[in-house]
Every structure is written in structure tokens, then in C-alpha cells.
Amino acid sequence: MLPASSATSRAWVIRSYGYKRKPIQKSVVNSRSRIDFTMDLWTSPTHLGLLGIVTDYTDREGRLNKALLCLSEKEGVHSGENQCRRFVEVIVEYGIQHKLGYVMMDNASRASNDIFMKHVEINQGNARYVLNAQEPRLRYEPLTSNWFSHSSSFF
């Protein structure tokens, strides 16, 4: 079935996200492993800023899983501080702040990624999580893999 308009497609995606969010949250919260994150912030051809946060984790049965936790519109500059604000909101919303593993960021400037990690470390007290800003961080220079298509199976 093809949607009649873009508003229909948007409504379908939002409804599907609502159905899948709770099972994903339960699986992530009950994971056997720490939760690793891949993040990307980009601007669409229509000048819409988007932030995607994908997780990799081992579920209770020992299976490797990948889940899209966030694909949200971002206003303002593509700064590390803006990314951090949403990242902290997401880990608290999902209740996974005690299971943080590695964070792989986009190929943005090193300064932006450093600022992100600095703000993550600064916000630790308020969100009650532990993440060493120097250790669990990876940079993926040619971020050309289409992680969204691999992670959007919940749509």
C-alpha cells in the first residue's frame, strides 16, 4: 500500500515507532552487555538537521542486536553540545545510563567530537551515568555505511 501523502508516511513511522519502542527499550535495558552507540548528525537536502543514535548490544539470550533509539530533528548548529544534550536525554529516557559502552561519532571536526565528550562527562552527575570522556570513544572517518537502513527495521 502506498501512502497518499507525506503526512501519511510520517504518521505511519510515528505509529510504528510507538509500537516498537517499548520492546526495544525492554531488550536494551535487559542486555547482557554494555551498550555501544553510533551517532551521526547531518543536514538533509531540505535543510532539516537530523540526529541519529543507534545502539549495538547483546540481548539476554546472547544475540547481537542493533536498534535505532533516536532519529530526531536538531535545530541550531551541529555542535558537540547539541549532540550531547539529545544523547543524554535518550539514555535517560531508555533507562540505560548505567550500561554505557563505546561511542562512535561521525566524521565531524575533532573539536566538535571533543566538545561532545566533554559535555557528556560534565552531565554525568545529573543523569547518573559513568562514561570516561577519554576512553570509550571511536571515530569512524568515512562514515559512508548506511546505518539507518540497517537500523530502521522497527519502522
Please check whether residue 57 lies inside any domain of the structure: yes
pLDDT, one tens digit per residue, over 65-103 is 999 998 888 877 767 777 888 888 899 899 998 888 888
CATH number, domain containing residue 13 = 3.30.420
Domain count, the chain: 1
Residue 51: pLDDT band by 50, 70, 90 thresholds? Answer: confident
The pLDDT value recorded for residue 55 is 94
Range from 11-15, 56-60, 118-122 carrying the lowest mean pLDDT: 118-122
Write the CB contacts of 73 (distance below 8 Å, at least 6 apart in sequence): 48, 49, 50, 51
Please check whether residue 112 lies inside any domain of the structure: yes
Please check whether residue 50 lies inside any domain of the structure: yes
Please check whether residue 1 lies inside any domain of the structure: no
Please check whether residue 145 lies inside any domain of the structure: yes
Write the CB contacts of 49 (distance below 8 Å, at least 6 apart in sequence): 41, 42, 43, 73, 74, 75, 76, 78
Please check whether residue 132 lies inside any domain of the structure: yes
Domain boundaries, position 79: 6-154
